[in-house]
Structure 1
Amino acid sequence: MANVTFKNNPVTLLGKEVAIGDIAPDFTVLANDLSPVTLADSKGKIRLISVIPSIDTGVCSTQTRKFNEGASSLGDDVQLLTISVDLPFAQAKWCAAEGLKNVQTLSDHRDLSFGEAYGVVIKELRLLARSVFIIDKDDKVTYVEYVGEGTDHPDYEKAIEAVKQLMK
């Protein structure tokens, strides 16, 4: 498993770690209107999945905005999903306040389905570890970043470049 810390304290990640080349595990999370969303709902698109501990924190807010900005120029073949354990209502309120249109915020609070399938549930905090996954149109994982320190930023440029490589 990935070695991850949160505020410099080691944490335990639950679930199965995902690697490049794996077939992306399915999951069920909740949209802001409480409807279920699965990986299959975006089949045929390149998926950039941005995972954050909580949308109301500085790094998570920045991560969501940066990926929203980066994805806005990638076109309709790319689906940006931001997943956290925040309640769907809180996610919707944050997006409305920020004026973000290209990001789909999804909540894993109910079942931790995504978190367990991708190995990002922080056992000690019941939050998701900061991470980024890129899944191609055929559901193959092509990029993975488990951020080593939960309060650090992911490599935004590297992730967006990995999406662009799939678009060629």
Structure 2
Amino acid sequence: MASITLGGSPASTLGNLPEIGSIAPDFTLTKLDLSEASLADFKGQKLVLNIFPSVDTGTCAQSVRHFNKDASELENTKVLCISKDLPFAQKRFCGAEGIENVVMLSDFKTGKFGNDYGLTFSDSAFKNLLSRCVVVLDKNGKVVYTEQVAETADEPNYQAALDVLKNA
């Protein structure tokens, strides 16, 4: 379990992020059109999993904007922005912001992704939402970088995640 903070107050997750060098757990998430996407749908591509509580918060929205800009410059790489927001909210946000270079996915149906990746809040005001994390996978689905952001209000280390991609 990760011990993090939410607005300076202690918070915990259900577990820990997958270990570097391990194969990422499979997942099934909901796309904007309410169809499903799984890890297998992105086989052969490098992936940045940008995970956050809700696109309707400033820091979460900024992470989507930031990775949207970066994603357009990455070769053979997809950025998956994952939250428990309803796909309708994700779609509204992307339309209003002109977000076109990332794939928005939701864990709202089962919460299995957050549980399998060990990043669901187990307590605090955000209980059952996804904590702010970045997980980078190489083209074989191997975890090559993880970051569990210590304070939920803080942005992830974008550059560290992007630097790992260059060698993945």
Deviations 1:120-167 (A, max 9, x none): 11123221000000011111000000001111110011111111222x
Paired position in structure 2 for 1:141: 143
In angstroms, what is the RMSD of aligned CA positions?
1.1
Paired position in structure 2 for 1:12: 12
Paired position in structure 2 for 1:154: 156
Could you state the TM-score of these two structures normalised by the residue count of structure 2? 0.94
Deviations 1:4-31 (A, max 9, x none): 1111122221245311111100111100
- 1:16 and 1:155 mapped to 2: Cα distance? 18
Report the AA paired with residue 120 of structure 1: L
Q: Which runs of 4+ in 1 moved over 2 A?
A: none
Deviations 1:98-137 (A, max 9, x none): 0011011100011112101111111232210000000111
**1:164 equivalent in alignment to 2:166:** yes
Paired position in structure 2 for 1:54: 54
What number of residue pairs does the alignment pair up?
Answer: 165
1:16–1:116 contact (8 Å) kept in structure 2: no
**1:94 equivalent in alignment to 2:96:** no
Which runs of no fewer than 5 residues in structure 2 stay unpaired?
Answer: none
- 1:100 and 1:12 mapped to 2: Cα distance? 31
2:25–2:116 contact (8 Å) kept in structure 1: yes
- Aligned-pair identity in percent equals 44
- 2:116 and 2:89 mapped to 1: Cα distance? 23
